[in-house]
Amino acid sequence: MDAISVIRAKRDRQELTGEQIDWVIDAYTRGAVADEQMSALAMAVYLNGMTRTEISRWTAAMIASGERMDFAGLARPTSDKHSTGGVGDKITLPLAPLVAACGAAVPQLSGRGLGHTGGTLDKLESIPGWRASLTNPEMMRVLDEVGSVICAAGDGLAPADKRLYALRDVTATVESLPLIASSIMSKKIAEGTGALVLDVKAGSGAFMKNVEDARELATAMVELGTDHGVRTVALLTDMNTPLGLTAGNALEVRESVEVLAGGGPADVVELTVALAREMLDAAGLPDADPAKALADGSAMDVWRRMIAAQGGDPDAALPRAREQHVVTAPASGVLTRLDAYAVGLSAWRLGAGRARKEDPVQAGAGIELHARPGDTVTAGAPLLTLHTDTPDAFGYAEAALEGAWDIAAPGTSHEPTPLILGRVG
Ligand code: URA
pLDDT recorded at residue 393: 98
370 is catalytic: no
Tens digits of residue pLDDT in 181-195: 999 999 999 999 999
Nearest CA residue ID for atom 8, ligand 1: 84
Distance (Å, whole) CA 375 – CA 414: 9
| Shortest-distance atom of ligand 1 to CA 174 | 6
Higher pLDDT, 174 or 344: 344
**Residue-wise DSSP of 256-322:** HHHHHTT-S-HHHHHHHHHHHHHHHHHTT-TT--HHHHHHTSHHHHHHHHHHHHTT--TTSPPP--S
Cα distance from N-terminal residue to C-terminal residue, the chain:
38
pLDDT at 112 over 90: no
Of the candidates 162, 168, 228, 277, the residue annotated as catalytic is: 168
pTM of the model: 0.95
Phi, psi (degrees; rounded to nearest 5) at 215: -65, -40
Compute the half-sphere exposure of residue 202: CA atoms within 13 Å on the CB side of its CA.
21
pLDDT recorded at residue 358: 78
**Is the CB–ligand 1 distance for residue 85 below 6 Å?**
yes
Q: What confidence tier does 308 reach under pLDDT thresholds 50, 70, 90? A: very high
pLDDT at 62 over 80: yes
Compute the half-sphere exposure of residue 80: CA atoms within 13 Å on the CB side of its CA.
23
Cβ atoms 344, 352 nearer than 8 A: no
Q: What confidence tier does 174 reach under pLDDT thresholds 50, 70, 90? A: confident
CATH 3.40.630.10 correct for 323-408: no
Instruction: Find the length of the chain.
Output: 425
Separation of CA 143 and ligand 1 centre (Å): 24
pLDDT recorded at residue 355: 78
Nearest CA residue ID for atom 2, ligand 1: 184
In the beta sheet, which residues pair with residue 232?
196
Residues 6+ apart with CB under 8 A from 4: 37
pLDDT at 343 over 80: yes
Tens digits of residue pLDDT in 242-299: 999 999 999 999 999 999 999 999 999 999 999 999 999 999 999 999 999 999 999 9
Tell me which architecture the domain covering 3-49 has in CATH.
Answer: Up-down Bundle (1.20)
**Is the CB–ligand 1 distance for residue 184 below 6 Å?**
yes
pLDDT at 124 over 90: yes
**Is the CB–ligand 1 distance for residue 45 below 6 Å?**
no
Task: Give mean pLDDT, residues 69-86.
Answer: 94
Q: What are the domain boundaries of the chain?
A: 3-49, 79-309, 323-408
Distance (Å, whole) CA 254 – CA 317: 10
Average pLDDT, the chain: 96
pLDDT at 115 over 90: no
Hey, which of 58, 196, 207 would you mutate to test ligand 1's pocket, going by the most ligand atoms within 8 Å of its Cβ? 207
183 is catalytic: yes
pLDDT recorded at residue 116: 74
pLDDT recorded at residue 155: 87
Cβ atoms 175, 150 nearer than 8 A: no
Work out the percent of the chain whose per-residue pLDDT is above 90: 92
CB atoms inside a 10 Å sphere around CB 5: 10
Hey, which of 176, 183, 191 would you mutate to test ligand 1's pocket, going by the most ligand atoms within 8 Å of its Cβ? 183
pLDDT at 117 over 80: no
82 is catalytic: yes
Distance (Å, whole) CA 202 – CA 193: 25
Query: Which of these CATH numbers, 3.40.1030.10, 2.130.10.10, 3.30.70.20, 3.90.226.10, describes 79-309?
Result: 3.40.1030.10
